Chain A
Amino acid sequence: MKGLNQLNKGLLRSYLSLVLLGLCYLLLIVPFTGYMHSKPFIEKLGHLPRVEVFQFVAADQKQLVSASLVMKVMMYFGGLMEQNQVKYKLPPDYPAMSRIIHGSVKLDPYNMDAYYLAQAFLVWDIGAYKIANDLLAYGMKYRTWDWYLPFFAGFNSAYFLKDYESAAKYYQMAADLSGQPMFSTLAGRYMHKSGQTVLALSYLSAMEKSEKNKAIKKSYSIRLQALQAVRTIEVARDSYLEATGRQPASVEELARSGHLVKIPADPYGGKFFFEVEGRVSTTSEFTFGKPGK
């Protein structure tokens, strides 16, 4: 009887400590999760080891590691977007993102997600057109069947780098690979300055439609809104030019003269203005996180 009592006591003690520890866990998990959540993004992206280390440790899982690196960048980028739809809390660590993407294609040069993501942020957000095109050229050596890579490179060359010769070459490649002859005419159209916004719009709306990833889609749609605003101002500017025979001095003048019903807002939070040669630009430079806007 006494022995039984002893046994029960021991068991009771075990249960009690289990309950107590469970409570401790519950108390702990809230601040712990909070801490992990509030950790600055920069820390979450982390300082990754050199790609040579990955190449060794990844052993025969290089494709998996490559994919997970891209995922990491994407989650980080997507996290920033969702946190604040208008403005980034912190300026994204673009150099780190670029470094990881470059490491990722070293592990798996076929990883399309990597090129795609790189094209999205390298070009539009930081204007690293040259880096982006070098990366795309690297990818073209491997993904020899893929028309997207030359299509991206062609767009970058024509729209940003104004290198129409390369653009024509890339678009021809894209046309050959995809069997869609329309690409070969694109380069020619970019040479006309006024055509740029229209074609950028068509490029972006095509990209936005086919995008399934929410974060990336969001970034495209904001970009699209901005370009639509630019296009609206451009149309107003052109009709002003036709009516008065001279360039408008400012966007506000277009509104005052009635050529522009309402000054469109820059989704990046900047203000539109005319550059000296009449091009529509914005103080935000079409990006979040630029200082001094």
Chain B
Amino acid sequence: MFNIMSITLKGIFRDRVFHGILVVAFILPLIPVISTLSMRQVTELSITLSLSLISFILLLLAVFLGGTALWKDIERRYTYSVLSLPITRSSYLLGRFFGNALFMLITATLLGCVAAVVVWLVASGSPPDRQVVWMNFFLAVFFDAMKYILLVAVAVLFSTVSSSFFLPIFGTISAFLVGSSSQQVYDYVNSQPAQTLSLLTRKTASSLYYVLPNFSAFDLKVNAIYGLPLSLKGLFLTVVYGLVYGGIVLALSSVIFAKKEMK
């Protein structure tokens, strides 16, 4: 598995994915300028923009790296030479997954540090009403990375189901959108005004909520931007949720992939 992981990581670097990220990351130094557009919360806006940009980059990585991780190997017939080695299908799958996950983590760390410098510069130029809570900032970046790693797992699951290019990519994007708003839908369905909806609709929405990934739990942007206190218990539960949900998704992918025929 570690062999697969290391060649996966090597592949990502050799394919110049990092160059692409750097191009997008060039927006980061522009943030101080854009932030001054804010009337009352220049530093807050700089944090918003930095975290949004990091999120966006990680989303692209999750969708494209995760969605094509298996597709590329099958399409280019690398699977024949790799899967015939004495490794199990699941260690290959996990190797691909963890290689991508590690790359996301490295990217998030680097971008997080650069963004921190940018925010620090802005904050020293126009001091915010409330001190920047750096702990929250870094936690927000870390949880963001975790969320997108979970999305990579979902993308991998889609790639095991279909060996086409489009299903994994679009499936992942929809999973992301739905997973980001599933909490809202759930809250709405269980609110007073929604009681007019049919019971079936409400039950369907609720059961989907339990099946679909809940990405909104990982979103700590608001806590980082406005320095709102974080609940330790909430963070702990979120981490455990991520691990368990990711584990289930990967286990399911392994089962499907083990049955896949390399014709």
Contacts and interface: CB of A to CB of B under 8 A. Distances in A.
Interface in A159-199: none
A182 B61 CA distance: 53
Interface in B139-191: 144, 147, 176-177, 180-181, 184
Interface stretch (B19-27, B42-50, B244-252): B42-50
A63 B37 CA distance: 15
A113 B180 contact: no
Nearest to A143: B226
Interface residues of A, number: 27
Contacts, number: 67
Interface string A108-127: 10111100110000000000
A100 to B, nearest CB: 15
A59 B48 contact: no
Q: Name the prevailing secondary structure of the A interface residues.
A: helix
Given A55-B184, A110-B226, A146-B129, A63 B221 contact: yes
A60 B39 CA distance: 23
Given A67-B45, A110-B226, A112-B44, A59 B180 contact: yes
Contacts of A67: 38, 45, 48-49
Interface of B is mostly: helix
A56 B38 CA distance: 25
B88 interface: no
Interface residues of B, number: 32
B18 interface: no
A64 B31 CA distance: 13
A145 to B, nearest CB: 7
Interface in B1-54: 36-41, 44-45, 48-49, 51-52
A89 to B, nearest CB: 23
B215 interface: yes
A213 interface: yes
B171 to A, nearest CB: 15
Given A60-B219, A63-B52, A64-B49, A74 B177 contact: no
Contacts of B37: 71, 74, 213
11 contacts: A55-B184, A56-B181, A57-B177, A59-B177, A63-B222, A67-B45, A113-B39, A113-B40, A146-B129, A212-B36, A213-B37
Given A56-B181, A74-B39, A212-B39, 11 more contacts: A55-B181, A59-B176, A64-B49, A67-B45, A71-B37, A110-B222, A110-B228, A111-B41, A112-B44, A116-B40, A145-B130
